[in-house]
Chain A
C-alpha cells in the first residue's frame, strides 16, 4: 500500500486525462443545454442593460392587458379593470420585480436552469396552479418589452439568443408538472 500504489494510480490518472484530451469526449450530461459564446454574451449583455424595475412591470402589465385571461392568477391584486389601472397597479409592479429576480437566477445559472428552477416549477404547478401555456404568453411580452428598451441593438441574432434563453426557462418551469 502507500507510496508505490499511489504513484501508479497517479500515472494512470495522467494517462486517462491525456487519453481524454486526445479523444473527443461526449458531453458528460448530454441533456445539458449548449450555449454558444455569442449566446452567453448576448444574454449577459441584455440583462446588464435593461432596467429591471421597468421591464418586469411592463412585461407583466402587457401580459395582463393583451391576454386578459391571465388575470385569473392575480385575484388579490385589486384594480385590473383597464390598461391604465393595470400599468399603475403597485402589486403588478412589485410582482414584476419578483419575476425579474427569478429570471436573474437563470441568467446566473445558465448551465443548469433546469435544476435551478426545480422548486419554482413545483411552486407554479402545485401551489399556484398556472397553466404552463401562459409562460409563453409572458415570454412573448418580455421579448416585446426588451425589444422596445434595446431598440436597434436587439438584432435578429440577439433576439434569437433571448428566444432560446426564454425557451429554456419555460421548459424548466414546465418540468415538474405532472
Chain B
C-alpha cells in the first residue's frame, strides 16, 4: 500500500491548506486520543494535567504535528527521512506501534471537523495512506 504520485500530490496540497492550523489540530487530536482511548494515557503519566487545552497537551500536540509537517517534506522517502524519530520511539519512548493507528484516526477526525469541505473521500484515502506510511517508518527501528 505505497503512496502513488497522486497520493503525494493530494497530501501536499491538503497539508498546505491545514498547516496554518497545525498546532490546534495537534492539540485537538491528542486530547481526543487521551479521552476516547484512555489506554493511551499510560504514556503520559508524567504529565500533571492531561485534560484538553492543558499546557502539556498543547505543547505535545504541536510537537507531533511538527513531526507530521517534517514527514510531508520527506514524503518521497519516509523510512530514511524519519530514521532518528524512529530510533526515539523504538528505544526511548517505546510506544506500542498499535497506538500510531489510534492517533492517526484522531487526526483524521479533527481534519473532518475543521475542514469538512476539503477533507473529501479522495483526500481521506491519500492522507490515511500517508499516516499509515508514516507509522510504518516510525516502527522501522523497533526490531
Binding site for B on A (CB under 8 A): 61-62, 65-66, 83, 86-87, 140, 143-145, 147-152, 154, 156-157, 159-160, 163
For the complex, is B8 an interface residue (Cβ under 8 Å from A)? no
Q: A145-B112, A154-B113 are in contact. List 8 more A-B contacts (CB 8 A).
A: A66-B121, A83-B121, A87-B121, A148-B119, A149-B116, A152-B113, A159-B32, A159-B36
Per the CB 8 Å criterion, the residue count for chain B at the interface is 21
**Chain B residues, Cβ within 8 Å of A140:** 105, 108
**Chain B residues, Cβ within 8 Å of A150:** 113
Q: Kindly state the separation between the CA atoms of A149 and B52 in the bound complex, as whole angstroms.
A: 22
For B51, the closest partner residue in chain A by CB is A156
For B108, the closest partner residue in chain A by CB is A144
Whether the pair B121, A148 counts as a contact (CB closer than 8 A) is: no
Which residue in A62, A65, A156 is a CB contact (below 8 Å) of B31?
A156
Whether the pair B36, A144 counts as a contact (CB closer than 8 A) is: no
Whether the pair B108, A156 counts as a contact (CB closer than 8 A) is: no
Binding site for A on B (CB under 8 A): 28, 31-32, 35-37, 52, 105, 108-110, 112-113, 116, 119-122, 124-125, 128
* Whole-angstrom distance between the Cβ of A13 and the nearest chain B Cβ: 42
Query: Which secondary structure dominates chain A's binding surface?
Result: helix
Whether the pair B36, A147 counts as a contact (CB closer than 8 A) is: no
* Whole-angstrom distance between the Cβ of A99 and the nearest chain B Cβ: 16
Whether the pair B121, A61 counts as a contact (CB closer than 8 A) is: yes
* Whole-angstrom distance between the Cβ of A56 and the nearest chain B Cβ: 14
For A63, the closest partner residue in chain B by CB is B121
**Chain B residues, Cβ within 8 Å of A152:** 113
Residue of A152, A156, A160, A163 with highest tally of chain B CB at under 10 A? A156
Whether the pair B125, A148 counts as a contact (CB closer than 8 A) is: no
Whether the pair A156, B122 counts as a contact (CB closer than 8 A) is: no
The 8 lowest CB-CB distance pairs between A and B, nearest first, are A156-B35, A148-B112, A65-B121, A66-B125, A160-B36, A147-B112, A148-B116, A144-B112
* Whole-angstrom distance between the Cβ of A78 and the nearest chain B Cβ: 18
Q: Kindly state the separation between the CA atoms of A147 and B52 in the bound complex, as whole angstroms.
A: 17
Q: Kindly state the separation between the CA atoms of A160 and B41 in the bound complex, as whole angstroms.
A: 14
Task: Give 6 pairs: A residue, B residue, CB < 8 Å, sorted on A.
Answer: A147-B110, A147-B113, A148-B112, A148-B116, A154-B113, A156-B52
Whether the pair B125, A159 counts as a contact (CB closer than 8 A) is: no
Q: Kindly state the separation between the CA atoms of A65 and B10 in the bound complex, as whole angstroms.
A: 15
Q: Kindly state the separation between the CA atoms of A62 and B105 in the bound complex, as whole angstroms.
A: 14
Residue of A61, A143, A147, A160 with highest tally of chain B CB at under 10 A? A147
